[in-house]
Structures are given as C-alpha cells and as structure tokens.
A and B are shown apart, each in its own frame.
Chain A
C-alpha cells in the first residue's frame, strides 16, 4: 500500500498533469484513498492505470455510499489494485445532489475497466447515480419498472410493502 507520504507523492504527480484534480487524500486504518474531483475522475483513473510506476490496472470493486446528511452527499468508490506490487488504492469521487432534482452524474469508466459494467449498473440501480457513457445503464437487481433508489439513506427500510395474499384478499 502507498503510505501517507507516498499518497502525497501520487497526489503531487497527478497535480502536475491534472491541476486541482485531487481534492483531498486520506490514510485511514492502513488504507490510502484519494478524493478526486468527479469532473476529472476519468482523467485520474486513466493516469493511475497508465502512468509508469503506478499501473493500477485492476479494478477490484466499484461501489457507492450515501453520506446523508453531510454534503456532498454521494461517494463513488473505486478500489484499484496493482497486482505486481500488491497495492490497493481507493479513489473516491464525492457527488453533490443537483438542486434541480436531477440525478447526480459521473463519467463511466467501462471503457477503461470493462469489469465496471455490472457494478455501475448496480450503483445506478440503488443510488440513482448516472454514469455518463455507460453502454447499457439499466436497473440490474431491482425490477425494470421500479421507482425509487432503495439504498439511499432517506429511503426507509421496509419502504417496500410485502404483498401477502391475505392482505390482498382482505384489504387489497
């Protein structure tokens, strides 16, 4: 793993090519992460994948979290892995909820990491985060005609009624 100074070095190198792309770094519980400007996420991921000495070519996991009530609200996490050096690096893009009621949007990294296809669909399905440029951004685990973004923190647990035949018959 890159340690805390190593993380700052990576940040410095990214800043040379992409100024202001890295907003913050954190080294917490032995896990390094870069907080990246969502508008430049693809540039940073491409850099981390291609730059000599970095070569994080394996995307282990892509997932999201809803940090309500803090802002920006959504975080998309990319767990990168360099398999030669056995180093993990987390890249995190924080997305604010657009005030217009639109869905938050970020560039898709399917071109870069084909493995992200299902995982971006899953994030879209549960958080309503739109991945620009995804080849087939549809719901994957929830039904196609489902309305709502169930993993958001303001979506209540039990928000989905259980349809018992007894209830349907007597109260339906």
Chain B
C-alpha cells in the first residue's frame, strides 16, 4: 500500500436524483427532481399530477348537489373545507342565506376538521423527523374527532354533511356531551405533544433555523395559511372576511417570528388550541332553530312531509332528479383552510349543472415555495421542510 497523505479533495459532482413519486416521505404521490452536490440540494423541481383524476371536469357533468361528494375528495384531509367552499359559492350564486344554527354547526365542524388536519400533519411530520410515537398519539386524538364526525354525519371521512342552504341533519343527542369531553381533553393533549417535542434535542436541531423563506418572498409566491403566519404575517381569512360564525367568536391568530420550520410547528400547535376555543364558543352559543334554509326550490323538504304533502313530494322529486337551476353568473368564494386560502370559483350558466368548478388549492400554490425552502440545505432538511409545508397531493392534483 502506497504511503502518503490522505486524499483530501474529494471531487463532488452535481447529481440529479429522482425522489418519488412513491416515497413515504413525500406525503403523497409527489415526485421531486433534485440536483444534489454531495448531500446538499442545489436545485429542486416538484413534479405533480400523479393523482390527477379530473374532478373539476367531472363536476361539470353533475348537478349541483351531486358535486359536493366529488369536491370532498380533492383535499382528502380537509373535506369539510372543500364542501364549505363549494356550498358557500353556490349559496352566493343563488343568493341563499343560511340559518344561524347552520352557520354555527358548520363552524364547529370546520374547526374540528382543522384540528384533525393538523393532527395528521403533526403525526406524519414528526414521524419524518424520527419521532415515531407522535404518530400514535396524534392518531389517537384524530380518531376521537372521526368518531364525532361519524356520530353526527354517519361517515368518518367524506361526510357530505354540508348542503347548499345549511347542513343535512341536526347534531344527534349525546353529541354535545361527547364534544365537550373532547374540548376538555384536547388542550391537555396539545400540551403533551409540546412536552414531547419542545425539549427534544433532535427535533429542535432539525427544525430551528431550517427552511426559512422571507415574508416578502412568501407573499410574492402567493403562500397563505400557517406558512405565511409563521413568517410573521397575521393574515387569516377567518378574521379578514366575514363568513360563517367567525365574526361573532373570539379567537387569536398565532404568528411566528423567524419563519423557520420550528415556527411553522409552533403556529400549527397554537392553532389547534385556538380551534378548540372556537368550537367551545360555537357550542356554547349554538342558536336554536332550523339547521337548513327553508327554500323548497333549493333545499330538500323534510322527510316527514313526504307522505302527506303532494307539494313536498314534487319538490323532492324535482330536486333529486333534475336538481336546481342556478342563475347565470360567476363567484369566487374563499375560506381559510388548514393550509391557507382555499378558493372555489364556480361559473353557472343557468342550467342545473355548473359550467365550471375550479379550486384554488392552497397546497398547489404553496408548493411553489418548496424550492426556496430547500435549496442549499441538506436532503434530510428538505424532507423536513416538505413535511412542514404540509401539501396534500389530492388537493394539488385534483
């Protein structure tokens, strides 16, 4: 063996690596084309479209009330938000107001869904960072939320609970007690998650100072939601635009300071606690009265009237077979989903089917910031940043 000084200059060349589309750490079917120099990411391009199913196109072939279960399957983690965006857009098109009780019920379910979505995010992202037990703890609480959904709607996911004009059914007996139990429990659980992660050396060194994108750049890229708020911009559509019961409820908008992955984690955890507060207030102030608008041209008549009222039967038949016609026009309605601004654009042409349904999906737009988050960082940090970005590929690809 030749003696001499060790070789110190290892030539590193830039290598293009394909990560995905099938990779557990990509949180769905996302493909990343990455230029690596050693372990450093020098260039990155997300390639999407692997779960594109043409939902927007299919919606054009369905009457309005049949579109609701379709759009729920876009962003399959925040299905209540997808429903609300579509139902809200159609309500604005037909000029249909919804009763106060429906406003509150929708708010309750949206916020429960936000907690559910953040729990899925926390569990899977912590899993990416090596904290396996987080997944089980988070999914334990998630299951309680799904139990609540099942109790009220009959389905654990993709509930088709929101209807144009309100919600399909009132909450059942015993729901309130179960929800109150959850409300009492959840902030304690969030505290436990914090205890598990906040002083965890591995978690801190993997998240602090990683994936920073300046606030101005995020705004240019159209990023909304917890990512933007973590960078210190208190922008939340629940506060800025009046919709549902939010103007009547008291809640705070958590913001971060640096905008690194740690701030993103803190913001989402704080949002869970705020969501619990919203649910509690909405439950306390839940008004009595009808849970769906009383407009027989758009809303199914109560089941009990069908055997006795000919008119109700005719309305029921018309609504189920043809659906209702929506006067021509176009509406863009946006709400704050767990990932940011979720907008629904509906064009009505006067028939019983929408002429165009488009979703402005926050995951799709936020994904553009991923390059800025990851370039010149390590591959492992790129995976962490992707988790913190929280894209749902069903929503990206639609």
Contact = CB atoms under 8 A, between A and B. Distances in A.
B137 interface: no
Contacts of B16: none
Nearest to B237: A86
Nearest to A65: B356
Interface residues of A, number: 39
Contacts of A113: 220, 222
A172 interface: no
22 contacts: A28-B329, A29-B329, A29-B331, A30-B92, A57-B219, A60-B334, A60-B343, A63-B345, A65-B347, A67-B347, A86-B241, A90-B332, A113-B220, A114-B221, A118-B364, A118-B367, A139-B49, A140-B49, A142-B49, A151-B57, A153-B355, A157-B57
A8 interface: no
Contact of A60 (B220, B222, B358): B222
Interface of A: 28-31, 57-61, 63, 65-67, 77, 79, 83, 86, 88, 90, 113-119, 122, 126, 139-143, 150-151, 153, 155, 157, 160
Contact of B219 (A58, A67, A141): A58
Most buried by B among A63, A79, A150: A63
Given A118-B368, A151-B56, A59 B343 contact: no
B66 to A, nearest CB: 13
A145 B8 CA distance: 46
A160 to B, nearest CB: 8
B75 to A, nearest CB: 15
A119 B356 contact: no
A143 B240 CA distance: 38
A83 B235 contact: yes
B225 to A, nearest CB: 13
A77 B41 CA distance: 36
A157 B59 CA distance: 10
Given A115-B221, A157-B60, A141 B397 contact: yes
A153 B60 CA distance: 9
Given A31-B332, A118-B367, A118-B368, 19 more contacts: A29-B331, A60-B332, A60-B360, A63-B345, A79-B343, A83-B235, A86-B241, A88-B332, A115-B223, A117-B368, A118-B364, A119-B364, A139-B49, A140-B48, A141-B398, A143-B49, A150-B54, A151-B356, A160-B54
B330 interface: yes
A141 B397 CA distance: 6
Interface string B90-132: 0011010000000000000000000000000000000000000
B52 interface: yes
A30 B221 CA distance: 27
A155 B57 CA distance: 10
Interface string B354-397: 01101010001101100000000000000000000000000001
